[in-house]
Amino acid sequence: MNSKELTLLRVHSLEACYGPTQVLWGVSLSVMRGQVACIIGSNGAGKSTTLNAIAGVLKASAGRILFNNEDLTCQPPRQRVQRRITLVPEARQLWPKMTVEENLLMGAFPSQFRSTAHAKLARVYEMFPRLRERRTQLAGTLSGGEQQMCAIGRGLMPDPELLMLDEPTLGLAPKAVDEIFQFICNISRQGVTILLVAQNVNYALRFSQYAYLMETGRITLEGASESLLANPYVQEAYLGSS
């Protein structure tokens, strides 16, 4: 298999704006099949904007997005979901007055996924036993960690080839953070490629294989996650070392 076949996602010179304000400036990155890759950086660096542009939630103003060697740059979000790209958004964005199971089934709402929805639901419950226990409970009454499990489970319902996670541990207690990252590892072991955005730089670098540092809408550093973890600039600026 050549390098092009090994690369699942390629982003070339991506630019994006919110109204008149440009947020991304020539962002280029790639994610290999089966890899856990992460984008790290401070709040407001453009990390979430990058995921939103890849998912099609935000229209790219320049650049290209290639997935499985297909140009998705101008395709709407629903077509990207159909091509098995899933975004688990920041702050989870569950339907609080719907049950856990209803929220999960919404992940299989596109018609092409409905016939296998209950098989996928069983797989999610196997991965997240607590969700099975809470399946009739309103999502808004779950703890923060349980809500994140539900959001990730919903993201797995379309059987994604690429799962994008936007700040999956934001606001969670340390024990829940550990648990969520262990779930991310388990999902990766099942062959799902993951692109993770996180302000928790230490965890993101320890649980990924490749990393991009984003600052003010630009990729300023990239490499194997262990090399960024040992990088003096990253240690001083993002890990509190000196």
- Tell me which residue has tokens 């960690």: 145
Domain count along the chain: 1
Q: Which residue has the higher pLDDT, 242 or 102?
A: 102
Domain assignment of residue 145, yes or no: no
* pTM of the predicted protein model: 0.93
Question: Which residue in 161, 198, 193 sits closest to 181, CA to CA?
Answer: 198
pLDDT of residue 199: 82
- Please state whether beta strands 210-215 and 21-32 pair in parallel, antiparallel, or not at all (unpaired): unpaired
The domain spanning residue 44 has which CATH number? 3.40.50.300
Which residues form the domain of 220? 1-77+199-242
Residue with tokens 């099609």: 56
Q: What is the mean pLDDT of residues 186-206?
A: 94
Q: What is the mean pLDDT of the chain?
A: 93
Residue 33 domain-assigned (yes or no):
yes
Whether 40 is covered by a domain: the verdict is: yes
Is residue 66 a part of any domain in this protein?
yes
The proportion of the chain whose per-residue pLDDT surpasses 70, expressed as a percent, equals: 96
Q: Is the pLDDT of residue 19 over 50?
A: yes
Q: Is 88 within a domain?
A: no
* 121 part of a folded domain: no
The reply to whether 72 falls in a domain is: yes
Domain-located, residue 231 = yes
Mean pLDDT over 174-203 rounds to: 93
pLDDT in tens, 140-179: 999 999 999 999 999 999 999 999 999 999 888 899 999 9
Whole-number pLDDT of residue 200: 87
Say which range, 1-5, 226-230, 233-237, has the weakest mean pLDDT: 1-5
pLDDT value at residue 91: 85
Residues 6+ apart with CB under 8 A from 208: 35, 36, 37, 38, 194, 196, 225
